Each structure stands twice: as C-alpha cells, then as structure tokens.
Structure 1
Amino acid sequence: MTWHRKPLAGLDLETTGTAPEDDRIVTAAVVRYGGGRPTETRSWIADPGVPIQAGATAVHGFTTEAARTAGRPAGGVVAEVVDAVAALVDEGLPLVVMNAPFDLTMLEAEAERHHVRGLFARSVPLVLDPKVLDKRVDRYRPGGRRLEDLCRHYVVPLDAAHDSSADALAACGVTWKIANRHRWLTRVPLDELHEQQASWAADQQESLREHFASTPGKEHRAATVRTDWPLIPPMRSGVWAGE
C-alpha cells in the first residue's frame, strides 16, 4: 500500500507575526487525516504573552485581547502541541505542513522559549510540504501558491482559510490530491521523498531569491530568503521571506 493510502498527520499554526523565531503561536491544530478512518482534530488557542500584530489579526481574526481572553498559557499549549505531533510521528505517519519551515521553526522556537523538549529532539518527522510538492510537479503554472490557491487548483474544500483546523485539513487534502495525480510520488519511500523535498525547496527558494534580486523595489528582500527545509536554523533579524 502506498503512503498516500495510509493516514497523514497535519499541523497548522496561526501566529502573532511573520518572524518564525521571534513571533508566537496564537492558534494551533493537529489532525489525523485519511487512511480510511474518520478525521481526528485537536485545536488550541494560546495567550501568546505579546501583542498580536495588526497584519496578523487581519489574517486570522484574533486580536491581542481576544487571545488573552480565550487562550491558555502559551507554555502549556506548546507542550501539548509538540506531544500531539510527536505521538502521530511516532506511529509512523508523515507530517503534512504547508510552508513547513515557517511552522516547524516557529514550533521549535516556542518549545525552546517555554523550556519544552522540541519535536526534533523527540522524533524524526518525515515531512510532506504541499507548497514544495506542488511547485515540483507543476513548476510553470501561473497564479498564486498559497494554500487557498492550491485548494482551488486541486479542488479541496477550505471552509475557513486561516483557521488552524481548516488549514491543517486542507493541507492534507491538497497533499493527497497531488500524490494521487502524480503517482510517481507515491512510489518514492517517505524518507527519500523527505530528502528530495529538501533539495527541491532549496532550488525553489534560490529562484525566489533571484526573482527578488532582479525585481525593482524588492531587491532588499533577497537577503531574507532562506533555503533550509523543513527547519531553518536561528535567524534573529528581519522577517523571513517564505513566500
């Protein structure tokens, strides 16, 4: 049985801003998807302990006050999210994360911040990133590559964009659709596919860097592009250019 016929684990985070090492988790969801079983979803709201940027509020809808009112202490939330992801990874499930370096770097940084043992210290996740996979199988398709764009292209429901649970489910659905459409991916062992995505992601980010460098008004963004996948090492300045 190919890997796309078995369950997938999914992770999504909504955050206070766009710097994965310095900003904080506001909401999180972990899902178990597919494999002939009912979908299981766990979700969290955290009080991040810092103000939520207006741009982030415009995306996911949580104000600083709303997160303080509805959220639980961030350290406890981070510990539970890491536990939930590690448990599914330890079952042998691949971990689907849209734009993985952002969410996984954020989760590791939050774990360090709150003195929680991080995911990569506990497990060896084999990651599937629909953003990287889609760019590999359909490199020259015009249009956007955000999750909403991929859902439209692959005909995957996304009832509430930037709701963590909805995004985690949609990312799994898109990954399944990509694999089902491009069956050669399903014949690649997951550990090899993980390594191949690291190479593909590096090439894709280099292309993004070149695009910024050659586009008037965007030249300064070239220096912020990182090529690491699925986790970026510490970077303490500026906004990470993942898109």
Structure 2
Amino acid sequence: MTTSDTLPDRLRKLKLWMQGRWKGISREARRLDETAVQTAYARWAPYYDMVFRAPLYWGRHAAVKRINALEGHVLEAGIGTGMSLPHYGKHLTVTGIDLSEAMLERARIRSAEMINIAGLICMDASDLSFPDNHFDVTVAMYVMPVVPDPAKVLSELERVTRPGGTVLLVNHFSTDHGPRAVVERWLKRYADRLGWNPEFPKSRVLRHTSMVLEDEETLAPFGLFTLMSFRKAEDPQA
C-alpha cells in the first residue's frame, strides 16, 4: 500500500490481504505490510459506527439478547468498536478481541464506565491465546465471511468454550436457489469492493464442527442474516 491510496483503496487491499489473494508476494513482504493493514483499520475506525450501526443492529441485538439469558464469561471475537458492549447484562463478564488496536481503543472509550469488562485485547480470532474451556459463551458477529480461514476461527471458538457451553454466530449465509441466489452469485464478483463475500453457504461452517446446531434464527433486515446457536458437547469424563 502506498501513502497515496485513498481510504476505499486501502480497504479493498486490506480485504485482499485478509483473504490471501495477493499472488506472488513473499511471506516477508506480507509481514512487513501488516503495518499498512493496521493503518487502514485505523483510518476506518472513526467512520465504522456511522456506516455499520444500522445495518448490523438486528444481528447484534438478537445475539446479545440470547447471551443475556445465559450466565458466565463471554468472549466476543471481532468486537470492533464495541457497539455491543453497553447492551450486555451486568451479570455477565465480557472479554472482547479484535485484530485492530484502533478499533479497540474506541471500544475501550465506550466501555470506560463498565465494571464487567474483563479485557479488550488485540488478538487474531484464528489463533486465540486463551486456554481450552475458558469461556461459557463465545460469539462472532459478521466475522466468518471476512476472515481467511473461517474453519480455523470456528475451531478456536469451540476450543476456548467450556464443555456444554454456547457458541453463537451471526452472518449472512447465501442460498443456492431462487432470485436471491442469482443476485448473490452476481455480487460475488464485487466481493472485494463490498468487503464481504455474498456467496458464503452454511456448509462452510457446518462441515467444520462437531458441535450440535441447536437453533437458527432468520434476522432482519429482509432475512439477510442468520443467528446460529451451537452447543459444545459435554465432557464425558466430567
């Protein structure tokens, strides 16, 4: 990335980098470019709430409502600027992670008066540093279609969730029939500009987990998003 890149250019390149589509670039060059990636996030952070608060409201509201009916320690992966934080029940302990320190700084400001926040940590969701079985509930909202390896992220969420605990995902999942499928296939060519993959079937999640899918809830607006609730198997030795 060059210093002359516009914000949209940087965001498109950020998306390409995250999906591993920069062909012919060395591992060292990729590593050196992480600074530019963080710069792109930093430039985007001030506008994030303004752009995404409304379209992501329903999924965020549904997930937090489910979590508030539970107990214990919650991990939110990809917490961003922390729009969900004020809505978690005070009976919960909440930890949030995100790849962007700039996003987390805004989340820390938002949660400054909250006493149930255990930490807001800069961390890769596909390589969590938490021990096994550490959280009662884990949640990732709008994360899976924008990470390079969704299966690895789901595996990590499952690993750090206690036996019998809950893993929640909120995402747009594509369909394979009807007018919406046609539109999604057409939009796929613009995935890099959109910042998400319109053609992301549920199978990309379901085939990579042994957890039990307990419930699905179709969400507004227009049924474009789905909340999936998984239960991690109980430890047979417990």
Which structure is higher in RCO with an 8 Å CA cutoff and minimum separation 6?
A: 1
**Which TM-score applies when normalising by structure 2?**
0.27
**Which TM-score applies when normalising by structure 1?**
0.27
Give the structure with the higher percent strand.
Answer: 2
Give the structure with the higher percent helix.
Answer: 1
